[in-house]
Amino acid sequence: MRIAKTFTVEESLLAVVESTKGDRSMSERVNELLKLAIEQEQRDALEREAAVFYSTSSRTERQAERSFKKASRRSFTRD
């Protein structure tokens, strides 16, 4: 469902949208750009969350991870 809303947009941004819209309407192009921006923000947030998660791993967890990687490499070399 589409709802008509009014937003104020900088002229320089309108010029870029106009030059990149192709055969689509301005609204379609703006919606596409907004969706891409929202997806990018979500990816950035997940990346930050992962960075925090992995930065707080304990020494024991890191040792276990190294041991697992070492065992995996040995398993691959046997096959």
pLDDT digits (tens, 9 = 90+) for 30-58: 999 999 999 999 999 999 999 888 777 67
Determine the pLDDT at residue 57.
64
DSSP 26-72: HHHHHHHHHHHHHHHHHHHHHHHHHHHHHHT--HHHHHHHHHHHHHH
Mean pLDDT of 9-32: 95
pTM: 0.64
Determine the pLDDT at residue 77.
75
